A and B are shown apart, each in its own frame.
Chain A
Amino acid sequence: MKFADFVSTPAIKAELSADDKEGVVKELVEALVGAGQIKADEREGIVAAIMKREELGSTGIGRGVAVPHTKHPSVDRLVGTVGVSSDGVDFNSLDGEKVQLFFLLISPPDRPGDHLRALENISRQLRDETFCRFLKQSKTAEDIQTLLEEADNNQFVS
Protein backbone atom coordinates (compact mmCIF):
# COMPACT_ATOMS: atom_id res chain seq x y z
CA MET A 1 0.00 0.00 0.00
CA LYS A 2 1.24 3.48 -0.85
CA PHE A 3 0.73 6.79 0.95
CA ALA A 4 -1.39 7.94 -1.99
CA ASP A 5 -3.82 5.10 -1.22
CA PHE A 6 -4.80 6.50 2.16
CA VAL A 7 -3.41 10.00 2.74
CA SER A 8 -5.90 12.72 1.94
CA THR A 9 -3.75 15.44 0.38
CA PRO A 10 -6.04 18.39 1.28
CA ALA A 11 -5.99 17.23 4.92
CA ILE A 12 -2.18 17.35 5.29
CA LYS A 13 -1.11 19.76 8.06
CA ALA A 14 2.44 21.09 7.77
CA GLU A 15 2.26 23.34 10.82
CA LEU A 16 0.17 21.81 13.59
CA SER A 17 -0.82 24.49 16.06
CA ALA A 18 -1.95 22.16 18.86
CA ASP A 19 0.53 21.58 21.64
CA ASP A 20 -1.03 18.61 23.40
CA LYS A 21 -2.07 15.10 22.51
CA GLU A 22 -5.83 15.54 22.25
CA GLY A 23 -5.36 18.87 20.48
CA VAL A 24 -3.29 17.24 17.74
CA VAL A 25 -5.83 14.46 17.28
CA LYS A 26 -8.66 17.02 17.06
CA GLU A 27 -6.73 19.15 14.59
CA LEU A 28 -6.03 16.22 12.28
CA VAL A 29 -9.60 14.89 12.49
CA GLU A 30 -10.85 18.40 11.76
CA ALA A 31 -8.58 18.49 8.70
CA LEU A 32 -10.17 15.28 7.46
CA VAL A 33 -13.62 16.82 7.98
CA GLY A 34 -12.49 19.86 5.98
CA ALA A 35 -11.22 17.60 3.23
CA GLY A 36 -14.62 15.88 3.06
CA GLN A 37 -13.19 12.52 4.15
CA ILE A 38 -15.33 12.19 7.25
CA LYS A 39 -18.66 13.69 8.20
CA ALA A 40 -18.65 16.69 10.52
CA ASP A 41 -21.10 15.09 12.95
CA GLU A 42 -18.79 12.09 13.37
CA ARG A 43 -15.78 14.14 14.44
CA GLU A 44 -16.35 13.95 18.18
CA GLY A 45 -17.00 10.23 18.16
CA ILE A 46 -13.87 9.66 16.10
CA VAL A 47 -11.69 11.83 18.36
CA ALA A 48 -13.06 9.99 21.42
CA ALA A 49 -12.37 6.59 19.81
CA ILE A 50 -8.79 7.58 18.94
CA MET A 51 -8.15 8.87 22.47
CA LYS A 52 -9.62 5.65 23.89
CA ARG A 53 -7.19 3.66 21.77
CA GLU A 54 -4.32 5.78 23.11
CA GLU A 55 -5.29 4.75 26.63
CA LEU A 56 -4.44 1.14 25.75
CA GLY A 57 -0.90 2.26 24.99
CA SER A 58 0.49 5.25 23.18
CA THR A 59 0.80 5.00 19.42
CA GLY A 60 3.89 7.19 19.75
CA ILE A 61 6.15 4.45 18.43
CA GLY A 62 9.46 6.22 18.83
CA ARG A 63 11.72 8.31 16.61
CA GLY A 64 9.35 11.25 17.01
CA VAL A 65 6.54 9.44 15.21
CA ALA A 66 2.98 8.60 16.24
CA VAL A 67 0.25 6.74 14.41
CA PRO A 68 -2.99 7.63 16.26
CA HIS A 69 -5.78 5.52 14.80
CA THR A 70 -9.14 3.90 15.25
CA LYS A 71 -11.68 1.83 13.47
CA HIS A 72 -14.91 3.63 12.80
CA PRO A 73 -18.07 2.50 11.05
CA SER A 74 -18.59 5.89 9.41
CA VAL A 75 -15.79 5.31 6.88
CA ASP A 76 -16.04 2.73 4.10
CA ARG A 77 -12.36 2.82 3.23
CA LEU A 78 -9.13 3.59 5.02
CA VAL A 79 -8.62 7.35 5.31
CA GLY A 80 -5.69 9.15 6.81
CA THR A 81 -3.64 12.28 6.97
CA VAL A 82 -0.22 13.51 7.98
CA GLY A 83 0.67 16.29 10.39
CA VAL A 84 3.97 17.84 11.37
CA SER A 85 4.70 19.76 14.56
CA SER A 86 7.99 21.63 14.42
CA ASP A 87 8.17 21.95 18.21
CA GLY A 88 7.00 18.43 18.92
CA VAL A 89 4.19 17.36 21.23
CA ASP A 90 4.27 15.19 24.35
CA PHE A 91 2.43 12.06 23.22
CA ASN A 92 3.46 9.65 26.01
CA SER A 93 5.68 7.98 23.44
CA LEU A 94 7.18 4.58 24.06
CA ASP A 95 10.65 6.14 24.05
CA GLY A 96 9.60 9.26 25.96
CA GLU A 97 10.53 11.58 23.08
CA LYS A 98 8.27 14.33 21.82
CA VAL A 99 6.41 13.57 18.61
CA GLN A 100 6.84 15.65 15.47
CA LEU A 101 5.33 13.37 12.82
CA PHE A 102 1.75 12.18 12.99
CA PHE A 103 0.06 9.68 10.71
CA LEU A 104 -3.62 9.53 11.68
CA LEU A 105 -5.62 6.59 10.35
CA ILE A 106 -9.32 5.76 10.41
CA SER A 107 -10.32 2.41 9.03
CA PRO A 108 -13.56 0.52 8.52
CA PRO A 109 -14.07 -2.09 11.27
CA ASP A 110 -14.05 -5.02 8.86
CA ARG A 111 -10.75 -4.29 7.12
CA PRO A 112 -7.87 -5.11 9.50
CA GLY A 113 -5.64 -6.04 6.55
CA ASP A 114 -5.72 -2.53 5.08
CA HIS A 115 -4.82 -1.04 8.43
CA LEU A 116 -1.86 -3.44 8.71
CA ARG A 117 -0.66 -2.56 5.23
CA ALA A 118 -0.85 1.16 5.97
CA LEU A 119 1.18 0.62 9.16
CA GLU A 120 3.61 -1.48 7.15
CA ASN A 121 4.09 1.30 4.62
CA ILE A 122 4.52 3.98 7.27
CA SER A 123 6.96 1.97 9.35
CA ARG A 124 8.95 0.84 6.32
CA GLN A 125 9.37 4.38 5.03
CA LEU A 126 10.21 5.73 8.49
CA ARG A 127 13.14 3.37 8.78
CA ASP A 128 14.82 5.73 6.36
CA GLU A 129 16.34 8.55 8.33
CA THR A 130 16.48 10.90 5.38
CA PHE A 131 12.75 10.57 4.80
CA CYS A 132 12.09 11.14 8.51
CA ARG A 133 14.33 14.18 8.69
CA PHE A 134 12.94 15.78 5.52
CA LEU A 135 9.37 15.25 6.74
CA LYS A 136 10.14 16.88 10.08
CA GLN A 137 11.67 19.84 8.26
CA SER A 138 8.70 20.29 5.92
CA LYS A 139 7.21 23.75 6.03
CA THR A 140 4.30 23.39 3.64
CA ALA A 141 1.71 20.77 2.78
CA GLU A 142 3.18 20.73 -0.73
CA ASP A 143 6.60 19.75 0.67
CA ILE A 144 4.99 16.87 2.55
CA GLN A 145 2.99 15.77 -0.46
CA THR A 146 6.15 15.73 -2.58
CA LEU A 147 8.01 13.66 0.02
CA LEU A 148 5.15 11.17 0.23
CA GLU A 149 5.12 10.87 -3.56
CA GLU A 150 8.87 10.31 -3.61
CA ALA A 151 8.47 7.64 -0.95
CA ASP A 152 5.69 6.02 -3.00
CA ASN A 153 8.09 5.95 -5.93
CA ASN A 154 10.64 4.10 -3.79
CA GLN A 155 13.09 6.94 -3.74
CA PHE A 156 13.93 6.40 -0.08
CA VAL A 157 13.60 2.71 0.66
CA SER A 158 16.73 0.78 -0.12
Chain B
Amino acid sequence: MNDITRSTTVTVQNPQGLHARPADLLARRASQFDAQIELIKNGESADGKSILQIMTLAAEMGTVLSIRATGHDAEQAVAALAELFESGFAENGRSHS
Protein backbone atom coordinates (compact mmCIF):
# COMPACT_ATOMS: atom_id res chain seq x y z
CA MET B 1 0.00 0.00 0.00
CA ASN B 2 1.26 3.47 -0.84
CA ASP B 3 2.33 5.79 1.91
CA ILE B 4 0.52 9.06 2.13
CA THR B 5 1.28 12.14 4.20
CA ARG B 6 -1.41 14.01 6.05
CA SER B 7 -1.11 16.94 8.40
CA THR B 8 -3.27 19.22 10.45
CA THR B 9 -2.94 21.99 12.99
CA VAL B 10 -4.17 21.71 16.55
CA THR B 11 -4.19 23.96 19.61
CA VAL B 12 -3.39 22.77 23.11
CA GLN B 13 -6.66 23.40 24.94
CA ASN B 14 -6.16 21.90 28.37
CA PRO B 15 -4.98 24.40 31.00
CA GLN B 16 -2.07 22.25 32.13
CA GLY B 17 -0.54 21.89 28.69
CA LEU B 18 1.21 18.78 27.37
CA HIS B 19 2.51 17.47 30.68
CA ALA B 20 3.30 13.83 31.36
CA ARG B 21 -0.20 12.36 31.22
CA PRO B 22 -1.35 13.93 27.93
CA ALA B 23 2.06 13.10 26.46
CA ASP B 24 1.51 9.49 27.53
CA LEU B 25 -2.00 9.45 26.03
CA LEU B 26 -0.73 10.91 22.77
CA ALA B 27 2.19 8.50 22.48
CA ARG B 28 -0.05 5.51 23.21
CA ARG B 29 -2.64 6.56 20.65
CA ALA B 30 0.04 7.33 18.06
CA SER B 31 1.64 3.94 18.61
CA GLN B 32 -1.57 2.26 17.47
CA PHE B 33 -0.86 3.40 13.93
CA ASP B 34 1.74 2.21 11.47
CA ALA B 35 2.32 5.73 10.19
CA GLN B 36 5.34 7.71 11.26
CA ILE B 37 3.96 10.61 13.29
CA GLU B 38 5.54 13.94 14.14
CA LEU B 39 4.35 16.74 16.39
CA ILE B 40 5.87 20.05 15.37
CA LYS B 41 6.08 23.23 17.43
CA ASN B 42 7.80 26.27 15.90
CA GLY B 43 9.78 24.06 13.57
CA GLU B 44 10.88 21.73 16.34
CA SER B 45 9.78 18.18 15.67
CA ALA B 46 9.05 15.42 18.17
CA ASP B 47 8.31 11.77 17.49
CA GLY B 48 4.61 11.43 18.26
CA LYS B 49 5.16 7.92 19.59
CA SER B 50 7.72 9.00 22.19
CA ILE B 51 6.49 10.44 25.47
CA LEU B 52 10.00 11.74 26.18
CA GLN B 53 10.14 13.62 22.89
CA ILE B 54 6.62 15.00 23.26
CA MET B 55 7.51 16.43 26.67
CA THR B 56 10.48 18.27 25.20
CA LEU B 57 8.02 20.47 23.31
CA ALA B 58 6.81 21.99 26.63
CA ALA B 59 3.58 22.93 24.89
CA GLU B 60 1.46 25.17 27.11
CA MET B 61 -2.24 25.91 26.75
CA GLY B 62 -2.76 27.91 23.57
CA THR B 63 0.27 26.49 21.79
CA VAL B 64 -0.36 25.67 18.14
CA LEU B 65 1.16 22.42 16.95
CA SER B 66 1.23 20.62 13.63
CA ILE B 67 0.58 16.92 13.47
CA ARG B 68 2.14 15.23 10.47
CA ALA B 69 1.76 11.57 9.68
CA THR B 70 3.26 9.50 6.89
CA GLY B 71 2.09 5.98 6.18
CA HIS B 72 -0.86 4.07 4.79
CA ASP B 73 -2.97 4.98 7.83
CA ALA B 74 -1.81 8.60 8.05
CA GLU B 75 -5.29 9.99 7.61
CA GLN B 76 -6.74 8.00 10.51
CA ALA B 77 -3.71 8.76 12.69
CA VAL B 78 -3.99 12.51 12.23
CA ALA B 79 -7.73 12.41 12.90
CA ALA B 80 -7.31 10.32 16.05
CA LEU B 81 -4.63 12.58 17.52
CA ALA B 82 -6.49 15.77 16.61
CA GLU B 83 -9.49 14.37 18.46
CA LEU B 84 -7.38 13.93 21.60
CA PHE B 85 -6.32 17.58 21.44
CA GLU B 86 -9.93 18.69 20.87
CA SER B 87 -11.09 16.73 23.89
CA GLY B 88 -8.49 18.57 26.00
CA PHE B 89 -7.24 15.12 27.00
CA ALA B 90 -10.39 14.82 29.07
CA GLU B 91 -8.93 16.97 31.77
CA ASN B 92 -10.25 20.48 31.25
CA GLY B 93 -10.65 22.10 34.61
CA ARG B 94 -9.06 19.22 36.46
CA SER B 95 -6.74 20.21 39.20
CA HIS B 96 -4.52 17.16 38.90
CA SER B 97 -1.31 17.27 36.98
Interface residues in chain A, defined as those with a beta carbon under 8 Å from any beta carbon in chain B: 52-53, 56-57, 59, 61-63, 67, 69-71, 94, 107, 109, 112-113, 115-117, 119-120, 122-124, 126-127
Interface range, B side: 20 to 34
| Contacting residue for B24 out of A52, A61, A126, CB 8 A | A61
**B18 cross-chain contacts in A, Cβ below 8 A:** 116
**B20 cross-chain contacts in A, Cβ below 8 A:** 57, 59, 61, 67, 69, 119
**B51 cross-chain contacts in A, Cβ below 8 A:** 61-62, 94, 123
Also in contact, A124 and B56, with CB within 8 A (given A62-B51, A94-B24, A116-B17): yes
Also in contact, A57 and B59, with CB within 8 A (given A52-B96, A113-B17): no
Interface residues in chain B, defined as those with a beta carbon under 8 Å from any beta carbon in chain A: 15-21, 24, 51-53, 55-61, 95-97
A116 to B97, CA, bound (A): 10
A63 to B97, Cβ gap below 8 A?
no
- Total A-B residue pairs with C-beta atoms closer than 8 Å? 67
Please give me the residue from chain A that is nearest to B63 by CB atom. Answer: A116
B55 to A53, Cβ gap below 8 A?
no
Also in contact, A113 and B52, with CB within 8 A (given A56-B21, A59-B20, A94-B24): no
B97 to A53, Cβ gap below 8 A?
yes
| Contacting residue for A53 out of B17, B52, B96, CB 8 A | B96
A145 to B10, CA, bound (A): 39
CB distance from B38 to the nearest CB of A (A): 15
| Contacting residue for A120 out of B24, B58, B97, CB 8 A | B58
A62 to B58, Cβ gap below 8 A?
no
B19 to A116, Cβ gap below 8 A?
yes
| Contacting residue for A112 out of B19, B21, B55, CB 8 A | B19
Please give me the residue from chain A that is nearest to B58 by CB atom. Answer: A120
Q: Can you name 19 A-B residue pairings with CB atoms under 8 Å?
A: A53-B96, A57-B21, A61-B52, A62-B52, A70-B97, A71-B97, A94-B24, A112-B17, A113-B17, A113-B60, A116-B16, A116-B59, A120-B55, A120-B56, A120-B57, A123-B52, A123-B55, A126-B52, A127-B56
